[in-house]
Amino acid sequence: MQDDNPAADRDVEAAIAERLNHLKSRLQINLSDFDLKSISPSRLASHLALVLVIIGVLALTQIQPPDWRIAGDTAILPDAAPTVTPEAVVRVAAYGGSSVQSSGPLVRSAAPFTTIPNRARTDILTYEVQPGDTVFGIADKFGLKPETIMWSNPELEQNPDMLRIGDKLVILPVDGVYHKIKKGDTLVKIAKKYKVDVADIVNLEWNKLDGVDAALTPGEHLIVPGGTKPYVARTVSVYRGPIPKNAQRGVGSFVWPTSGYITQGFWHSHRAIDIGAWLGAPVVASDSGYVVYAGWDRTGYGNLIILDHGNGYRTYYAHLSAIFVRVGDSVAQGVRIGSVGSTGRSTGPHLHFEIRFHNVQRNPLGFLH
């Protein structure tokens, strides 16, 4: 079937052809104008970039001649594209997410990540002591107070230095006391002993208690969260005879007993400082005095020297590898009395150093210079 107005058709076709030629002339690049030998690399790169931009524009816009239709003498655009009813689309969420079905072409995928709440640990762990470990350092690893490590392990309760490589330690999930149930114990008595509320013990998941009147089995353990124990200083039987006639008297001013670095400071249940040093490093008298103890100690000090300074002060030098003095000897400040070691319960060479005034342990860092 032929059109009713051939002349009008030819005019429209001519107009379309003219528009296409105009577009072509604008985008066309005459490569014959390029002399590749005379063009600098930077200029050549800019030309190539321009070509790529033009190609990209063409690809993105997908320019095509319009689909004109003729209605009488007027060229008009086609009707708007019909509304598309999408079929059900299944989109599988990335990273292993679940499949989500939707009636539309785009869906919100399932969130591939889940926020895990930071829950408190509820179980008891066992930790094996490593070289260089201290009670304070082990506690820090598990976010606990050092006293909790001591009160959970009876061998450390009176002496936090009584660590030995390979020892197995009980690590509680919370700060407090690990109580071994004895005959006659009740929750009320235990709570009173450690200065906590009974509800704190009952509500702790690990204890698995039905209530305040829950039956307790001797020999088993309870965790007493927040429980505390009083500090009791260790005692060593020292020389109590007459003061030697030639005994020097201290001046109350203390020098560092050895060179090294502090591996453990002064805290509630470790009322001393530990000075790490090489095995055999010299240990000197921190102040003048006389020897009231020199030898092996069974409570964990190992080879121990105690000096009495005649003014209420005594100094303790523990874990020595060698002892160069005897009970009753008078020593001057700065005189060598022994060597750094790792005897007794110790995880590495260091000097355990205490200053006591009338048997009250004081922080040596407040006295040393």
Residue whose C-alpha is closest to residue 301's, from 355, 236, 230? 236
Q: State whether 270 and 220 are in the same domain.
A: no
Domain with 272 in it = 261-366
347 assigned to some structural domain: yes
247 assigned to some structural domain: no
Q: Rounded to whole angstroms, how far apart are CA atoms 252 and 242?
A: 21
Element (H or E) spanning 339, and its range? strand 336-339
Q: State whether 219 and 271 are in the same domain.
A: no
Quick check: 222 and 179 in contact, CB under 8 A? Answer: yes
Q: State whether 135 and 220 are in the same domain.
A: yes
243 assigned to some structural domain: no
Name residue, tokens 């470790």: 270
Q: State whether 220 and 284 are in the same domain.
A: no
Q: State whether 216 and 303 are in the same domain.
A: no
Q: Which amino acid is at 279?
A: L
Q: Rounded to whole angstroms, how far apart are CA atoms 134 and 202?
A: 32
Q: Rounded to whole angstroms, how far apart are CA atoms 52 and 277?
A: 70
Q: 122 in helix, strand or coil?
A: coil
Supply the CATH number for residue 311's domain: 2.70.70.10
Got the DSSP string for 78-93?
Answer: PPPPPPP-PPPEEEEP
Quick check: 252 and 287 in contact, CB under 8 A? Answer: yes
Strands, DSSP E only, in 138-220? Answer: 168-171, 176-180
State the pLDDT at residue 329: 94
Name residue, tokens 């450390």: 156
State the pLDDT at residue 83: 45
Q: Rounded to whole angstroms, how far apart are CA atoms 1 and 287?
A: 125
Handedness of CA 37, 41, 47, 48 (dihedral sign): positive
Q: State whether 290 and 193 are in the same domain.
A: no
Q: State whether 286 and 213 are in the same domain.
A: no
CA–CA distances in Å: residue 180 to residues 44, 168, 193, 197 = 86, 17, 13, 18
Question: What is the chain's pLDDT, residue by residue, as a tens digit (369 residues)?
Answer: 445 566 666 665 676 667 666 655 655 545 445 455 555 666 667 767 776 766 665 555 554 544 444 444 444 444 444 444 444 333 333 333 333 444 444 444 444 444 444 556 889 999 999 988 888 889 999 999 989 999 999 888 777 777 888 999 999 999 999 999 999 999 999 999 999 999 999 999 999 998 888 989 999 999 999 999 887 777 788 888 888 888 889 998 999 999 999 988 888 778 899 999 999 999 999 999 999 999 999 877 889 999 999 999 999 999 999 999 999 999 999 999 999 998 766 667 899 999 999 999 999 999 998
Q: Rounded to whole angstroms, how far apart are CA atoms 286 and 254?
A: 5
Residue whose C-alpha is closest to residue 306's, from 225, 238, 207? 238
191 assigned to some structural domain: yes
Number of domains the chain contains: 3
100 assigned to some structural domain: no
Which of 35, 59, 76 represents a domain boundary (last residue)?
A: 76
CA–CA distances in Å: residue 253 to residues 160, 330, 364 = 27, 17, 11
Q: State whether 180 and 268 are in the same domain.
A: no
Element (H or E) spanning 59, and its range? helix 41-61
342 assigned to some structural domain: yes
Which of 225, 247, 282 represents a domain boundary (last residue)?
A: 225
88 assigned to some structural domain: no
Got the DSSP string for 263-297?
Answer: EE--BTTB-SEEEE--TT-EEE-SSSEEEEEEEEE
109 assigned to some structural domain: no
Q: State whether 218 and 303 are in the same domain.
A: no
DSSP 8-state assignment for residue 254? B
Q: 50 in helix, strand or coil?
A: helix
Q: Rounded to whole angstroms, how far apart are CA atoms 235 and 280?
A: 26
Supply the CATH number for residue 186's domain: 3.10.350.10
Half-sphere exposure of 164 (CA within 13 A, CB side): 9
Q: State whether 268 and 360 are in the same domain.
A: yes
Which of 171, 197, 225 represents a domain boundary (last residue)?
A: 225
Q: State whether 220 and 265 are in the same domain.
A: no
Q: 341 in helix, strand or coil?
A: strand
Q: State whether 45 and 135 are in the same domain.
A: no
